[in-house]
Amino acid sequence: MADCIFCKIARKEIPAKLVYEDRQVVAFEDINPQAPVHTLVVPKSHFPTLNDVGAEEEGLLGHMTLVATRIAKDKGLHATGYRVVANCLEGAGQSVFHIHLHLLGGRRFTWPPG
Protein backbone atom coordinates (compact mmCIF):
# COMPACT_ATOMS: atom_id res chain seq x y z
CA MET A 1 0.00 0.00 0.00
CA ALA A 2 1.47 3.34 -1.10
CA ASP A 3 1.17 5.32 2.14
CA CYS A 4 1.93 2.57 4.64
CA ILE A 5 5.16 2.99 6.62
CA PHE A 6 5.69 -0.77 7.04
CA CYS A 7 5.07 -1.38 3.31
CA LYS A 8 7.72 1.27 2.63
CA ILE A 9 10.17 -0.43 5.01
CA ALA A 10 9.44 -3.81 3.38
CA ARG A 11 10.14 -2.26 -0.05
CA LYS A 12 13.34 -0.62 1.32
CA GLU A 13 11.99 2.83 0.51
CA ILE A 14 12.71 3.99 4.05
CA PRO A 15 15.51 2.66 6.25
CA ALA A 16 15.18 0.27 9.16
CA LYS A 17 17.55 -2.04 11.05
CA LEU A 18 16.61 -5.24 9.25
CA VAL A 19 17.32 -8.46 11.14
CA TYR A 20 15.58 -10.97 8.86
CA GLU A 21 13.90 -11.18 5.48
CA ASP A 22 12.36 -13.87 3.33
CA ARG A 23 9.70 -14.09 0.60
CA GLN A 24 6.82 -13.45 3.01
CA VAL A 25 8.12 -11.26 5.85
CA VAL A 26 10.66 -8.74 7.05
CA ALA A 27 11.80 -8.27 10.64
CA PHE A 28 13.40 -5.09 11.91
CA GLU A 29 14.18 -3.30 15.16
CA ASP A 30 11.41 -1.17 16.65
CA ILE A 31 12.15 2.55 16.46
CA ASN A 32 10.86 3.04 20.02
CA PRO A 33 12.02 -0.07 21.90
CA GLN A 34 10.11 -1.10 25.02
CA ALA A 35 12.67 -3.73 26.04
CA PRO A 36 16.34 -4.53 25.33
CA VAL A 37 15.07 -6.69 22.45
CA HIS A 38 12.14 -5.24 20.55
CA THR A 39 11.86 -6.58 17.02
CA LEU A 40 8.87 -6.35 14.69
CA VAL A 41 7.89 -9.19 12.36
CA VAL A 42 5.96 -7.75 9.43
CA PRO A 43 4.39 -9.46 6.42
CA LYS A 44 5.26 -8.06 3.01
CA SER A 45 1.56 -8.11 2.09
CA HIS A 46 -0.61 -5.39 3.54
CA PHE A 47 -3.37 -6.19 6.05
CA PRO A 48 -4.43 -3.21 8.21
CA THR A 49 -5.43 -5.22 11.28
CA LEU A 50 -5.77 -8.82 12.41
CA ASN A 51 -9.50 -8.40 11.74
CA ASP A 52 -8.65 -8.19 8.04
CA VAL A 53 -6.78 -11.50 7.92
CA GLY A 54 -8.82 -14.45 6.69
CA ALA A 55 -8.42 -18.18 7.09
CA GLU A 56 -6.44 -18.30 3.85
CA GLU A 57 -3.62 -16.47 5.68
CA GLU A 58 -3.29 -19.13 8.38
CA GLY A 59 0.08 -20.10 6.91
CA LEU A 60 1.33 -16.53 6.92
CA LEU A 61 0.37 -16.03 10.57
CA GLY A 62 2.07 -19.29 11.50
CA HIS A 63 5.15 -18.26 9.57
CA MET A 64 5.29 -14.88 11.34
CA THR A 65 5.15 -16.65 14.69
CA LEU A 66 7.92 -19.08 13.74
CA VAL A 67 10.09 -16.21 12.48
CA ALA A 68 9.58 -14.45 15.82
CA THR A 69 10.58 -17.57 17.77
CA ARG A 70 13.62 -18.09 15.52
CA ILE A 71 14.78 -14.51 16.11
CA ALA A 72 14.17 -15.00 19.84
CA LYS A 73 16.49 -18.00 19.73
CA ASP A 74 19.11 -16.10 17.69
CA LYS A 75 19.02 -13.32 20.29
CA GLY A 76 19.46 -15.78 23.16
CA LEU A 77 15.99 -15.30 24.63
CA HIS A 78 14.75 -18.89 24.39
CA ALA A 79 15.97 -19.84 27.88
CA THR A 80 15.06 -16.67 29.77
CA GLY A 81 11.72 -15.96 28.10
CA TYR A 82 10.21 -13.50 25.71
CA ARG A 83 6.87 -12.09 24.71
CA VAL A 84 5.20 -12.06 21.28
CA VAL A 85 2.40 -9.51 21.01
CA ALA A 86 0.00 -8.29 18.32
CA ASN A 87 -2.13 -5.24 19.04
CA CYS A 88 -5.43 -5.07 17.15
CA LEU A 89 -7.06 -1.62 16.80
CA GLU A 90 -6.41 1.55 18.81
CA GLY A 91 -8.16 0.16 21.87
CA ALA A 92 -5.38 -2.41 22.20
CA GLY A 93 -2.59 0.03 21.37
CA GLN A 94 -2.23 -0.47 17.61
CA SER A 95 -0.65 2.61 16.04
CA VAL A 96 0.61 1.27 12.69
CA PHE A 97 -2.17 -0.19 10.59
CA HIS A 98 -0.20 -2.97 8.91
CA ILE A 99 -0.23 -6.14 10.96
CA HIS A 100 2.92 -7.04 12.87
CA LEU A 101 4.18 -9.10 15.77
CA HIS A 102 6.24 -7.49 18.51
CA LEU A 103 9.02 -9.72 19.82
CA LEU A 104 10.04 -8.37 23.24
CA GLY A 105 12.74 -9.70 25.54
CA GLY A 106 15.77 -9.03 27.67
CA ARG A 107 13.87 -7.93 30.77
CA ARG A 108 11.15 -9.25 33.07
CA PHE A 109 7.55 -8.64 32.05
CA THR A 110 4.48 -8.38 34.20
CA TRP A 111 1.02 -9.79 33.59
CA PRO A 112 -1.59 -8.53 32.92
CA PRO A 113 -0.06 -5.99 30.51
CA GLY A 114 -1.02 -2.34 30.91
Residues annotated as catalytic (active site), given as ranges: 100
Q: Provide the 10 A C-beta neighbour count for residue 108.
A: 7
Residue 20 identity (one-letter amino acid): Y
Residue 114 interacts with ligand DGP (CB under 6 A): yes or no: no
Task: Number of helices (H) and strands (E) in the chain: give both, helices first.
Answer: 2, 5
Residue 18 interacts with ligand DGP (CB under 6 A): yes or no: no
The conformation of residue 88, written as its DSSP 8-state character, comes to -
Please give the residues from 42 up to 81 whose contact with ligand DGP meets the rule CB under 6 A: none
Residue 36 interacts with ligand DGP (CB under 6 A): yes or no: no
Residues at the site binding ligand DGP, with contacts judged by CB under 6 A: 5, 16, 28-32, 40, 87, 93-96
